[in-house]
Amino acid sequence: MGLVFQDYALFPHLNVTQNIQFGLAGLANADREQRCAEMLELVGLEREALRYPHQLSGGQQQRVALARALAPRPRLLLLDEPFSNLDVELREKLSMEVRDILKHEAITALLVTHDQHEAFAVADVVGVMNDGLIQQWDTPYNLYHQPKNRFVADFIGQGTLVPGKVLNAHQVEIELGVLEGVSAAECDGDSCLAFGKGAPVEVLIRPDDIIHDDHSPLLAEIVRKAFRGAEFIYTLKLASGAQVLAQVPSHHDHSIGELIGIRLNVEHVVAFGVAD
């Protein structure tokens, strides 16, 4: 088992080569040098082989820590928030590089992180934990589109819960219209009739479920806006006073207080029961 620490924990008195070779003491000299050379090439640090940790950037130190952990060919690699000390741009770049390296070495890894974007970028499967319990163990796609409970729905991504009413086994009506193909979370079946016909429910609406459409007769008022570069995240107030989020391309730059046309495009409908 290998371990990459949050602060890398490199040996300051050893150079890069010596750090990587630390776990290879049981090998013959030639085998140890060959494996170290393979690791240096894998993490792209051949030119830094004789440097010491204080002479390296944060990203380079992270690569050395990864190479040291991988050198003995562990069956399992544990990573404790390995990118938390890096800036956002470098964190994203290195997270993808680490994923490529792990795939290349065919090593199973367990990554602990508080950054869901990082988890989504690196992991094949993600476990969402709360109070020491795994709430859902699933693919990033399913965590976002098919959350199993309210905690996961609230924790993963952005979204709002809007009131609705069960019409039949696979239809729920909300203020914005009738939604088809409903997956009923927090119940034993996948039919929304698990809540009972006419039962009140709350439906998860993601920002990408709301489409800005100038020709739609359904209007909503912009009450907040957040510029994200390629897009705006608008907070919209509906006629009832309920609010939803909408992800809109940034060339649609509207003012707060303005009414805009919207329509639904909900491909993954998730409903939660309402306690009496």
pLDDT digits (tens, 9 = 90+) for 12-47: 999 999 999 999 988 999 999 999 999 999 898 999
Please report how the helices 88-105 and 58-70 are oriented relative to each other, as an axis angle in degrees rounded to 10. Answer: 20
pLDDT tier at 196, thresholds 50, 70, 90: confident
DSSP string, 73-98: --SEEEEESTTTTS-HHHHHHHHHHH
- The rounded distance, in Å, linking the Cα atoms of 4 and 174 is 48
pLDDT score at 186 = 67
CA distance 56 to 11: 13
Q: Are 185 and 192 in contact (CB under 8 A)?
A: no
Percent of the chain exceeding pLDDT 90 equals 71
∠ Cα 141 133 102 (to 5°): 50
Q: Which residues pair with 79 in a beta bridge?
A: 4, 111
pLDDT of residue 188: 56
The predicted model scores a pTM of 0.83
Cα(223)–Cα(28) distance, integer angstroms? 68
Q: How many CB atoms lie within 10 A of CB 228?
A: 10
For range 2-16, the mean pLDDT = 93
Task: State the Cα–Cα distance between residues 194 and 252, nearest whole angstrom.
Answer: 40
Q: Coil, strand or helix: which one is 36?
A: helix
CB 233 within 8 A of CB 247: yes
**How confident is the model over 228-248, as a mean pLDDT?**
94
- Residues 263 and 212: their CA atoms lie apart, in Å, by 7
pLDDT of residue 190: 63
User: What is the chain's percent helix, strand, coil content, to nearest 5?
Assistant: 30, 30, 35
| pLDDT at site 209 | 94
Q: How far is CA 158 from the centre of its chain?
A: 11
Averaged pLDDT for residues 232-257: 94
